[in-house]
Amino acid sequence: GAEEGSSVSLRCVLRIYCSWTPADLPPLKKDFYIESETVASRTNNNIFVDDLKEEGEKRPFPNPVSTFEEAFQHYPGIMENIVRVGFSKPTPIQSQAWPVSLKGEDLIAIAQTGTGKTLAYLLPGFIHMDGQPVKRDGPGMLVLTPTRELALQIESECNKYSYKGFKCVCVYGGGDRWAQIKAISAGVDIVIATPGRLNDLQMNELINMRSITYLVLDEADRMLDMGFEPQIMKILLDIRPDRQTIMTSATWPSGVRRLAKTYLKNPMMVYVGTLDLAAVNTVQQTVLFCQEEEKKAYLFEFIHNMEPDDKVLIFVGKKIMCDDLSSDMCLRGLVVQSLHGDREQCDREEALRDFKESVVRILVATDLASRGLDVTDITHVFNFDFPRNIEEYVHRVGRTGRAGRTGASVTLVTRGDWRMAAELIPILERAGQEVPVELVLMAERYAKHKREKDMRPAVFASNRPYGGAIPKSHL
């Protein structure tokens, strides 16, 4: 019933969506790319590309750029900002995404956070807005993103690379709604928003989205995980269907594929590395085995051995543990900040700022912070609690070893985490890390336990000791 209802609502959405006609819409220009001679003779290098066009001949894929000049030599305002910020060369995802998006194609960029994907869509977006033949009567670019932290980071990047005086506004739940409405009505060019709050403004007719011609769905996999698909569908109803759409995602699951098929037109796909889940190979990953009650001792020993310039992000599974650990550290005279969903928005922003600016070098956080946390100089990630799933492990570990640096992660594993052991092994292997013998044995014990449990009569299935932990007979 529910599935049938959702397919009916999707059909209704698509019917309205397809009813837009070109006569309703001002003219739109998308192609701003002038390929340099050096780029024309180049081939791809460790970047995988695919044309997802369903019918007709596949299009030639534009070659990657290897310098900022090759992408933006005709846009001196962009080049000035890049020189001012001091980047040396484009990241792999930027080098391939820029030619595709500057050509005006819809794009799917599969890349982990920390790969420079924000600039991969922002800079072409600036050029796109500036080059439109008709003056807009509202915002020209919309970036949809899963969390307020990520929205604020994108806003910060937007302001850092300010171009042609474009104004941006950040719209998210938990922020001052009236101030956001006031900023929009004063006139903005770029809207960076979480789906829930934008949907609220849309339903109350407080924002005009018909002027948007450049749309970004940032971290689409995360937005779907958080249940934002209905809001995204409603938002896209008000945006012209011939717009240019960029989608980024760290993974490529079926939900993201479906979203891309519905809302992107003949997209080109760019991905760096592999589409399989793989933790970054710039991170030295260590796995330590301990009892639940020993965890704090392991953590404090780690902190005691930190170098003065080290910066550690400590992940915990529960908000209460986040508060508990940070209180313990304060009592020991350590300077620490904490980040979780129950803290006031202003406190969360202060915690992020303190950590980013190295006012504090220890941040204790729940998984809320593990996606899109834009701090490039984190030296260590410490997994105090093992994450709920292996995808989250990859995203946590990806907080370090960014922007060309190396990093290290330490993960505490207790017997209660044994069901994750088998999934962690291939992640470590693919990243060229040592796989502890204990992890292999733990995976084997869990597989044996699961086989035995599946063979038991259902009536006894709930009688195992220790909940999800390893029964003593298996230790």
pLDDT band at 42 (very low <50, low <70, confident <90, very high): low
pLDDT exceeds 60 at position 441: yes
Beta strands in 237-378 (DSSP E): 244-249, 268-272, 283-289, 312-315, 337-339, 362-365
Find the range with the poorest average confidence among 143-157, 359-373, 374-388, 432-446.
359-373
Which domains does the chain show, CATH number per domain? 24-272 (3.40.50.300), 283-438 (3.40.50.300)
pLDDT in tens, 345-376: 788 889 988 999 999 999 999 886 555 567 88
pLDDT in tens, 241-299: 999 999 998 878 788 888 999 899 989 988 765 445 555 677 899 999 999 999 999 99
- Give the pLDDT score at 458: 52
Place of tokens 């980040």: 339
Whether 66 and 95 have beta carbons less than 8 Å apart is answered as yes
Pick from 66, 106, 110, 115: nearest CA to 274: 110
pLDDT exceeds 80 at position 60: no
Pick from 210, 34, 31, 215: nearest CA to 132: 31
Sheet bearing 362-365, strands edge to edge: 283-289, 407-413, 380-383, 312-315, 362-365, 337-339
pLDDT in tens, 375-402: 889 999 999 999 988 878 887 888 888 7
Sheet bearing 268-272, strands edge to edge: 47-51, 268-272, 107-110, 244-249, 214-217, 141-144, 190-193, 168-171
SS3 at position 334: coil
pLDDT exceeds 90 at position 112: no
pLDDT band at 460 (very low <50, low <70, confident <90, very high): very low
Quote the CA–CA distance of 391 and 155 in Å, as a whole number: 26
pLDDT in tens, 313-347: 999 999 899 999 999 999 999 999 998 878 887 88
Q: What percent of the chain has pLDDT over 70?
A: 83
Quote the CA–CA distance of 125 and 244 in Å, as a whole number: 9
Quote the CA–CA distance of 68 and 98 in Å, as a whole number: 10
**DSSP-assigned states of every residue in 135-181:** --SS-SEEEE-S-HHHHHHHHHHHHHT--TT--EEEE-TTS-HHHHH
How many CA atoms within 13 Å lie on the side-chain side of 322? 22
